[in-house]
Amino acid sequence: MRNETSQGWPLRFLMALVLPFVVLLATARIVTGDVGSGMLVRFVNSALTSFTLASFMLMVMLFVYGDRRKRPVAPFLGMLGAGVLGAMITALFLSQGDLLMEANGSVRAQMLSNAVRFSTSLLALMLAVCVCFGALFATVMNRGIRPLQFEEE
């Protein structure tokens, strides 16, 4: 059930998500005088690492799915293939010289560094979500009991 003022809410929601990013990044641009170097490299590393690790974690979820379907092998193999493909693509790009290397000594060091950076970013994202949702629940639960109002027929 939505409020009467809910028209156009997807656009407002999108603007609410994007606007803080834009202002903070613009301020960072003014302070540093330049866009951060190595952004594309970091983006690609982060995308490949998150795809690979998420594929392996979703593969674990398939065990729960398998309980309902008498443990089929096919989807499990599918996600395993996706994870392995992600790892292979990462290793392929990292081995192409300085294409995706970030001051790490070897392909293995860069892959391990990517995994740790992924964990750090994920932790920050989870804390941001938990703080906001935790504050919301705290305010909702600490509101006084409202009397029920029945509309007159």
Partner 1 sequence: MFTSTIDQFEFLCTLARCVVGLARFRASVEDVHSLGRLFSAVGFRTWETTVTGHDSTEPSLTPAEFGGSSLLDALHGVQGVLASRGAVTLDLTGTLHHVDTYQSAHKGRVYMLSAGCFALKKRTAFPSLGWTIKPPSLVRTMVSPWLSVFLFWIPGVVVVAGGLLALLSKRAMVRRAAGVMAAVSLLAIITTPWTVPSSPSSAFGHFLGSLLGPLVFLGVGLYSITFSGNIPVGQLSPTDRVTGFVMVALGSAWLLAMHWWSITPTYPDTVNTYWVMFWSTFLLVSPAVGAGLMVLVGVFGHQRQRERNLIGVLSMALFLIGLLALLFDGSSLGREAFGQAVWLAFADVVGLLAGLGAALLVFGAVLVVYERQLVPPVTSSGPSKEHLDRVSFVLHQHVDGGEHDEE
User: Please, which of residues 60-119 interact with partner 1 by CB under 8 A?
Assistant: 60-61, 64-65, 72, 74-75, 78-79, 82, 86, 103-106, 108-109, 112-113, 116-119
CB of 137 to partner 1, least distance (A): 5
DSSP assignment of 75-110? HHHHHHHHHHHHHHHHHHHHTSTTSS--S-SSHHHH
Go through the chain and tell me how many residues it has.
Answer: 153
Site for partner 1 in 28-47 (CB under 8 A): 28-29, 31-32, 35-40, 42-47
Judged by phi (left if over 0) then psi (alpha if -120 to 50, else beta), residue 143 lies in beta
Q: With respect to partner 1, which residue has the nearer C-beta, 49 or 153? A: 49
Contact 99, 93 (CB under 8 A): yes
- Provide the token pair at 54: 């998420």
The answer to whether 57 contacts partner 1 (rule: CB under 8 A) is: yes
Q: Alpha-carbon distance 12 to 92, whole Å?
A: 41
* Structure-block tokens of residue 76: 């499990």
Smallest separation, CB 150 to partner 1 (Å): 15
Mapped onto helix, strand or coil, the DSSP state of residue 35 is coil
CB of 127 to partner 1, least distance (A): 6
148 binds partner 1 (CB under 8 A): no
Regarding 150 and contact with partner 1 (CB under 8 A), the answer is no
Name which of residues 116 to 145 contact partner 1 (CB under 8 A).
116-125, 127-145
